[in-house]
């Protein structure tokens, strides 16, 4: 549905441009990489760019992808910067840090950054090469965006008013009552009188308590469905008064409640204008990255929270399928779901990991399929850090992985536990919580000329953009 | 299954610091000759080929029948008709052949560039040698090219020697074209005529520059080259500084200075010609531009 006339006009213009580009064989594809915090978006984009560039140099880093291209991939280039107002995604710096000694993973992403990549291909057919030199070869431009995962959870807020948001948020927060700071905030907010006045010090106090609760939920409990995203990751401008709101049990009165409602509305408007409209209103392909193992190890509450967050994000995105989308040619053509860090489990458990992801994302997948989008589910390691090994536990051999620990530099075998094919029974979580150690990246060529070792990136790319080549 | 150990576990193997894992990735992904993918004719290609076969084949059959008929009238008529038919078809065939050759020579440039971009030494060396065989300025370089141990070395040899010479010659050609188009636009009565002259001279310039690089583009080849040249022109705004300097030097000529006041259009045309020669030379080089 066209929400506002300006956005509608934009849709029409982009639809015309898209049609023209498709006709001359130079499509431009916006690839939305969505994933919650620490799902592995930044590493994924780094690996994607490095491996595509290497494939453009003839390296066989992405065999399945090249097969999908029918051997017609001629070169891959980074599009040089023009006059973008956004920072450029710094692949070289990320690769250099990963290859350095000691290696470092990319730091927390705290701002948007973009990068464009052009794949040049021979035109298909017996005389494709000839035709190519006459009218130009086929080029596919990929637009990539990296952003803080926390902000993604603001998308479900766009269609909610303050009262509805308050009720929902308090309900979810109660599941984290294990955490002391969550208990503190809940106790404080429930003790507030219904007619509390719009006192600034009261608002600041509530905000500080709420922020601490959110932080502990994210870092201690592994929760992801935490709103508003900018409280956890304010971005380069730091905190602004816009952020100083929190859910109230009596959200519809005057005084403090109306101040909170005002700030909530302003925040939603700002996120819509700065984040959602420019980047997520319209995209062509989507990779949904999920740290399935991390969620599984963080316990039942975190696992369910992750599923709920993914469903809420999918519900807020526009997959097309409506008459307006059909008319202006908007909508997503393909969505690939990937369980990242698949190198944390031994080879024969990776299928189970993908199967578990399939049940975890059943709701988003259903929503995409409803709009006629082709979907696929993968197990993916953007940067493979382990090799398969056998460990002996309680006198029995079990399949494990071996890697070098980032923290100590020691070699260790990790047994990730049995990966269930379905969301497990409550009994499964009895063994308590576990956090996968960070591994050191393997030996890398600092210049990155040969790409980086990965698992399944080529299959994912073939499924996601293979039809465009 | 059910008696498998519950819960994940970390087992540190050794207290000592271990080396990083090494998958030998660089060696695993070195390029091999890409398998030749059998290419199929597209529907449109088939239809076009069918039309061509029908048109040419029926014309040939028609002509043959006609020649036989003419022989029935008498040997003189027969031989004369046969001569006409053979000459006509011969010219057609040779024209088509030249077109295909021209297009192939442009394709060869693209192949060479791709080989350099891939750092594929054997292919790049073969292309460089083939190219040097057809360009007088590069012929003496062949032994050195044969010895080169890396694509970087090949590139240095080519860029330091023949390509430098060819660039200078292209600039000279461009200057000649610039002077001519300046003169024509300064005296011509209508802007329409200016544009016509400029286009004709521009196309000729591109073909001249291509010939420097050993390319003999036919009509299709010229079209391909023009497309590439215009595409590149969008990306080489940086060379404008050099072009501006050259244009200024050119226009400070005493005679031309007389015109320059009233013939600003001529100055623009001259500058465009210079730029065109530069970009055309760029498009014909067998090494890709350095990023
Ligand atoms: N072993 C392994 N770890 C990964 C991989 N991808 C990401 N990680 C880990 O996950 C962390 C978070 O990844 P990052 O890309 O920064 O997540 P983002 O918040 O979604 O951008 C990294 O610091 C790595 O430790 C992978 O392919 N293999
Ligand atoms: Mg990140």
Exposed, middle or buried: residue A238 (CB in 10 Å: 0-12, 13-18, 19+)? exposed
Asked if A440's CB is within 8 angstroms of B21's CB, the reply is: yes
Q: What is the pLDDT of residue B238?
A: 39
Q: What is the pLDDT of residue A24?
A: 78
Asked if A415's CB is within 8 angstroms of B8's CB, the reply is: yes
- Chain B nearest CA to A453, separation (Å): 6
Asked if B40's CB is within 8 angstroms of A57's CB, the reply is: no
Q: What is the pLDDT of residue A358?
A: 93
pLDDT of A255 strictly over 60: yes
Query: Which of A58-67, A439-448, B70-79 comes out lowest in average pLDDT?
Result: A439-448
User: Pick the residue with more confidence: A128 or A283?
Assistant: A283
pLDDT of A209 strictly over 90: yes
Answer whether residue B16 is part of any domain: no
**A47 CB near ligand 1 (under 6 Å):** no
Answer whether residue B222 is part of any domain: yes
Please count the residue pairs, one from chain A and one from chain B, whose beta carbons lie less than 8 angstroms apart: 157
Residue B82 structural domain: 61-291
pLDDT of A452 strictly over 50: yes
Domain count within chain B: 1
Query: Which of A16-25, A317-326, B173-182, B208-217 comes out lowest in average pLDDT?
Result: A317-326
Answer whether residue B192 is part of any domain: yes
Q: What is the pLDDT of residue B256?
A: 53
Asked if B114's CB is within 8 angstroms of A74's CB, the reply is: yes
Model ipTM?
0.78
Surface of B (85-144) touching A: CB under 8 A: 103, 106-107, 110, 114, 117-120
pLDDT of B236 strictly over 50: no
What residue ranges do the domains of chain A occupy? 5-147+279-384+445-468, 159-270
Q: What is the pLDDT of residue B264?
A: 58
Q: What is the pLDDT of residue B223?
A: 80
Answer whether residue B251 is part of any domain: yes
Tell me: the pLDDT tens digits for A302-314?
999 999 999 999 9
Q: What is the pLDDT of residue A116?
A: 93
Q: What is the pLDDT of residue B239?
A: 44
Tell me: the pLDDT tens digits for A43-96?
999 999 999 999 988 889 999 999 998 888 888 888 887 777 889 999 999 999
pLDDT band at B121 (very low <50, low <70, confident <90, very high): confident
Q: What is the pLDDT of residue A354?
A: 95
**A103 CB near ligand 1 (under 6 Å):** no
Q: What is the pLDDT of residue B140?
A: 85
Q: What is the pLDDT of residue B237?
A: 42
**Is the Cβ of B234 closer than 8 Å to some Cβ of chain A?**
no
pLDDT of A363 strictly over 80: yes
| CATH code given to domain A5-147+279-384+445-468 | 3.40.50
Tell me: the pLDDT tens digits for B250-270?
555 555 555 554 455 667 777
pLDDT of A1 strictly over 50: no
Q: What is the 3-state secondary structure (H, E, C) of chain A?
A: CCCCHHHHHHHHHHHHHHHHHHHCCCCEEEEEEEECCCCCHHHHHHHHHHHHHHHHCCCCCCHHHHHHCCCCEEEEEECCCCCCCCCECCHHHHHHHHHCCCCCCCCCCCCCEEEEEEEEECCCCCCHHHHHHHHCCEEEEEEEEECCHHHHHHHHHHHCCHHHHHHHHHHHHHHHCCCHHHHHHHHHHHHCCCCCCCCHHHHHHHHHHHHHHHHHHHHCCCCCCCCCHHHHCCCCCCCCHHHCCCCCCCCCCCCHHHHHHHHHHHHHHHHHHHHHHHHHCCCCEEEEEECHHHHHHCCHHHHHHHHHHHHHHHHHCCCCCCHHHHHHCCCCCEEEEEECCHHHCCHHHHHHHHHHHHHHCHHHHHHHHHCCCEEEEEECECCCCCEEEEEEECCEEEEEEEEEECCCCEEEEEECCCCCCCCCCHHHHHHCCCCCCCECCCCCCCCCCCCCCCECHHHHHHHHHHHHC
Answer whether residue B180 is part of any domain: yes
pLDDT band at A320 (very low <50, low <70, confident <90, very high): confident
Q: What is the pLDDT of residue A2?
A: 46
Chain A residues with beta carbon closer than 8 angstroms to that of B30: 59-60
Tell me the mean pLDDT in the region B156-181.
Answer: 88
**Is the Cβ of B42 closer than 8 Å to some Cβ of chain A?**
yes
Tell me the mean pLDDT in the region A232-255.
Answer: 89
Answer whether residue B74 is part of any domain: yes
Q: What is the pLDDT of residue B258?
A: 53
Percent of chain A with pLDDT over 70: 95
């Amino acid at each position: 549905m066209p929400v506002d006339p300006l956005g509608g006009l934009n849709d029409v213009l982009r639809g015309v441009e898209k049609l023209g580009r498709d006709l001359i064989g130079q499509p431009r594809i916006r690839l939305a990489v969505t994933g919650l915090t620490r799902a592995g978006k930044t590493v994924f984009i780094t690996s994607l760019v490095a491996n595509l560039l290497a494939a453009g140099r003839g390296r066989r880093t992405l065999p399945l992808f090249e097969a999908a291209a029918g051997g017609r991939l001629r070169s891959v280039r980074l599009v040089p910067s023009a006059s973008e107002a956004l920072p450029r995604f710094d692949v070289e710096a990320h690769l250099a840090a990963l290859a350095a000694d000691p290696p470092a993973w990319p730091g927390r992403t705290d701002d948007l950054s973009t990068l464009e990549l052009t794949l040049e291909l021979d035109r298909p057919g017996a005389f494709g090469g000839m035709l190519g030199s006459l009218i130009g070869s086929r080029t596919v431009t990929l637009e990539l965006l990296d952003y803080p995962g926390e902000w993604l959870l603001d998308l479900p807020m766009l269609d909610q008013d303050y009262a509805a948001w308050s009720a929902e948020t308090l309900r979810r927060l109660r599941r984290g009552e294990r955490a002391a700071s969550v208990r503190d905030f809940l106790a404080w907010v429930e003790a507030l009188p219904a007619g509390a006045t719009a006192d600034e010090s009261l608002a600041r106090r509530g905000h500080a308590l709420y922020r601490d609760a959110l932080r502990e939920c994210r870092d201690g409990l592994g929760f992801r469905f935490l709103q508003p995203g900018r409280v956890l990751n304010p971005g380069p401008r730091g905190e602004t008064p816009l952020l100083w709101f929190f859910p109230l049990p009596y959200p519809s009165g005057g005084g403090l409640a109306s101040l909170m409602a005002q700030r909530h509305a302003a925040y939603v408007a700002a996120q819509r204008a700065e984040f959602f409209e420019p980047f997520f209103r319209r995209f062509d392909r989507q990779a949904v990255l999920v740290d399935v193992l991390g969620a599984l190890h963080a316990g039942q509450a975190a696992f369910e929270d992750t599923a709920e967050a993914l469903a809420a994000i999918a519900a807020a995105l526009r997959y097309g399928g409506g008459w307006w989308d059909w008319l202006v040619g908007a909508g997503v053509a393909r969505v690939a779901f990937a369980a990242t860090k698949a190198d944390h489990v031994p080879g024969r458990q990776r299928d189970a990991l993908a199967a578990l992801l399939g049940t975890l994302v059943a709701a988003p997948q259903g929503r995409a399929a409803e709009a006629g989008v082709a979907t696929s589910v993968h197990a993916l390691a953007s940067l493979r850090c382990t090799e398969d090994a056998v460990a002996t536990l309680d006198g029995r051999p079990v399949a494990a992985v071996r890697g070098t620990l980032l923290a100590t530099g020691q070699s260790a075998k990790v047994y990730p536990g049995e990966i269930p094919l379905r969301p497990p029974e409550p009994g499964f979580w009895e063994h308590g919580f576990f956090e996968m150690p960070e591994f050191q990246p393997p030996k890398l060529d600092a210049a990155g000329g040969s790409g980086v070792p990965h698992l399944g990136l080529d299959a994912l790319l073939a499924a996601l953009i293979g039809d465009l080549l | 299954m059910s008696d498998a150990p519950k819960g994940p576990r970390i087992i540190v193997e050794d207290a000592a610091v271990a080396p990083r894992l090494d998958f030998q990735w660089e060696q695993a992904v070195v390029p091999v000759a890409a398998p030749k993918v059998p290419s199929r004719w597209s529907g449109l290609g088939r239809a076009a080929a069918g039309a061509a076969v029908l048109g040419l084949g029926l014309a040939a059959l028609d002509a043959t029948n006609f020649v036989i008929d003419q022989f029935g009238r008498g040997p003189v008529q027969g031989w004369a008709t046969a001569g006409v038919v053979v000459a006509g078809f011969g010219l057609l065939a040779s024209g088509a052949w030249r077109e295909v050759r021209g297009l192939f020579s442009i394709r060869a440039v693209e192949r060479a560039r791709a080989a350099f971009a891939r750092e594929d030494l054997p292919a790049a060396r073969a292309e460089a040698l083939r190219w040097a065989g057809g360009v007088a300025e590069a012929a003496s370089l062949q032994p050195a090219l044969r010895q080169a141990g890396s694509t970087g070395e090949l590139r240095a040899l080519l860029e330091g020697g023949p390509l430098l010479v060819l660039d200078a010659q292209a600039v000279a050609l461009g200057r000649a074209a610039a002077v001519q188009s300046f003169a024509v636009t300064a005296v011509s009565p209508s802007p329409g005529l200016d544009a016509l002259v400029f286009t004709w001279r521009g196309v000729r310039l591109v073909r001249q520059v291509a010939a420097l690089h050993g390319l003999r583009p036919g009509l299709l080849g010229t079209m391909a080259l023009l497309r590439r040249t215009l595409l590149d022109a969008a990306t080489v705004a940086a060379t404008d500084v050099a072009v501006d300097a050259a244009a200024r030097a050119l226009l400070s000529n005493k005679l031309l200075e007389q015109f320059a006041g009233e013939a600003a259009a001529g100055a623009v045309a001259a500058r465009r010609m210079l730029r065109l020669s530069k970009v055309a030379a760029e498009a014909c080089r067998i090494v890709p531009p350095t990023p």
